[in-house]
Amino acid sequence: MSLAAAAPMVIAKGRSEGLRPLLLVAPLLLLLLLSFGLPIAALLSRAFYEPMIANALPRTSAALSSSSGAGVPDDQVFRALAADLAAAQAAERVYEFAKSFNVRLPGARSQMLRAARAAAQDSSINKEGLIRAAPLLGDERCWAAIRAGVNRFTTFFLLNAFDLRWSDQGSIVSAPIEQAVFVRVFGRTFLIAALVTLATLALAFPLAYLISNLRPAMAGAVLVLVLLPFWTSILVRTAAWTVILQKFGLLNDALLWLGLAQDRLELMYSRAGLIIAMTHIQLPFTLLPIYSVMRSMQPSQLRAAQSLGARPLTAFWKVYLPQVTPGVLAGGLLTFILCLGYYITPALIGGASDQLISNFIANYVNVELNWEMAAALSFVLLTSTIGLYALMTHYLGLDLFKMG
């Protein structure tokens, strides 16, 4: 066999050896792509792509694209709109359309339904007739919303997630104060995540320090006390806290008995209660990365520093702390990231003004049925999470799985 003939065989063999492990991974990879990646991609795409209005108004869309200019259009476009609305009314799709239009222009729902009824009754209705039935149609803002809506690709929802919108003049402006909720929700989510992170760091650092300096048998025993709550599901721990935080619950009993409170405090549905419970749940997540770094520290280093004349605190500050900082940052960042996605604990313990971004997403899906807004909020939450996670793995090399 000549060398030239052998070469393809070698290549083919190499490829099949590379292919076999890929075949073993393929089933799970396929499942993940189909039942995890694809659904999330489909969800996020809804934040940018919303064809409902364009689908309901094909004639209006065509008429608008042939007529130029902004503002309230001429009679021809109104006749196209009347035809579209009449068709939607006949097919009973008009409620869907009016609802999704209302998302873009609050208060427009009933007006659109009225216009559709008028158009269905009188097929020769003109501009004046439609405006008489639904005065909103004589408003420039309404037509700006229709023009934006017939374009299937939209920035409306994503801007809305930041309390921003397009003005009639085509610039980005902040939303009216009574509609501006999301910046506050994101701010609250980040604030609570930051508070919980700081609390867990303050509690976890000394404990990790203590465990890492104990004799192995003792350290193992204390570590079990950290791991027991870690192994208990978040729901069960949240349930435990709802029992403790009740008005006539244990914590209030203890506070009264110790004389730390005069009256029973409202801890359930309060931010204080939420932060206490979240701190308790997150503590092991912060502690374990810090502990794993501290465990690898040599105690002789501190002694060396002290024998060279450093006072204990100086040695700690100059020698110990810089070396455990990666673990501290990793633990803190991990807790911060996990807190951004909290859902169960705020839903059960937080009050109405303590709901985090995840609760808003769930609410837009379950109650408001506004999936575009849920998609836009999911997009912001997911990008913040992945961004922070990338930061964490890139700079700190923390692996989610090297804990415990």
Partner 1 sequence: MLLSPYPTLGERIRIGALWIWCGLMLIFLIAPIFVPIPLSFSSGSFFTFPLPGLSLRWYETVLGAPRWRAAIGNSLLIGLGTTILATILGTLTAIGLSDPKFPARRLVVPILISPLIVPVVVTAVGTYLFYARIGLASTYTGVILAHTVLASPFVVVTVGASLTGFDRNLMRATAILGAKPLTGFFRVMLPLILPGVLSGAAFAFVTSFDEVVVAQFLASAEQRTLPLEMFTGLREQLSPAITAAATMMMGLSIILLMVANLLARQSRRRAGSASD
Residues 31-60 close enough to bind partner 1 by CB under 8 A: 31-33, 35-40, 42-44, 46
**327 lies in the binding site for partner 1 (CB under 8 A):** no
Binding of residue 362 to partner 1 (CB under 8 A): yes
- Least separation in angstroms between CB 146 and partner 1: 26
**Cβ proximity to partner 1, 303 vs 318, nearer residue:** 303
Choose which of 2, 8, 21, 169 interacts with partner 1 (CB under 8 A): 21
Does the protein bind partner 1 through residue 229 (CB under 8 A)? yes
Exposed e or buried b for every residue in 2-28, given b needs 16+ CB within 10 A? eeeeeeeeeeeeeeeeeeeeeeeeeee
Radius of gyration of the chain (CA): 30
User: In 3-state terms, what secondary structure has residue 153?
Assistant: strand
Query: Which residue in 2, 17, 107, 177 binds partner 1 (CB under 8 A)?
Result: 17
Interface with partner 1, residue 11, by CB under 8 A: no
d(CA 14, CA 245) in angstroms, rounded, equals 63
Among positions 86-115, residues that touch partner 1 (CB under 8 A) are none
Minimum CB separation of residue 218 from partner 1 in Å reads: 10
CB atoms within 10 A of CB 57: 24
304 binds partner 1 (CB under 8 A): no
The continuous run of DSSP H or E covering 172 comes out as strand 172-174
235 binds partner 1 (CB under 8 A): yes
As measured in angstroms, the least distance from the Cβ of 33 to partner 1 is 8
* Using rule CB under 8 A, residue 220 touches partner 1: no
**Residue from 69, 170, 206, 309 in contact with partner 1 (CB under 8 A):** 206
295 binds partner 1 (CB under 8 A): no
Among 215, 258, 298, 367, contact with partner 1 (rule: CB under 8 A): 215
Q: What is the DSSP string of 214-252?
A: S-HHHHHHHHHHHHHHHHS-HHHHHHHHHHHHSTTSHHH
Contact 185/360 with Cβ under 8 angstroms? yes
Does 214 interact with partner 1 (rule: CB under 8 A)? yes
Task: Pick the binder of partner 1 from 225, 261, 304, 321 (CB under 8 A).
Answer: 225
Helix, strand or coil, per DSSP, at residue 164: strand
Q: What does the alpha-carbon distance between residue 266 and residue 247 come to, in Å, rounded to a whole number?
A: 6
Q: Which is nearer to partner 1, 5 or 352 (CB)?
A: 352
DSSP structural state of residue 49: B
If the CB atoms of residues 166 and 190 are measured against partner 1, the closer one turns out to be 190
Residue 85 CA to residue 93 CA, distance in Å, equals: 9
Interface residue with partner 1, options 106, 135, 176, 312 (CB under 8 A)? 312
CA distance 161 to 209: 42
**Piece of the chain touching partner 1 by CB under 8 A; list 29-37, 49-57, 63-71, 169-177:** 29-37
Residue 72 to residue 144: CA distance in whole angstroms: 9
* Among residues 55, 151, 174, 246, the one that binds partner 1 under rule CB under 8 A: 246
Terminal CA-CA length for the chain: 56
CB of 285 to partner 1, least distance (A): 12
Total residues at interface with partner 1 (CB under 8 A): 86
Residue 207 CB, nearest distance to partner 1 (Å)?
Answer: 5
**Which residue matches tokens 């030239």?**
4
Q: Is the dihedral of CA 229, 234, 235, 237 positive or negative?
A: positive
| Element spanning 165, H or E | strand 164-166
For residue 9, the minimal CB distance to partner 1 (Å) is 17
**Identified binder of partner 1 from the candidate list 51, 326, 341, 351, rule CB under 8 A:** 341
Output the six-digit token pair for 69. 């200019």
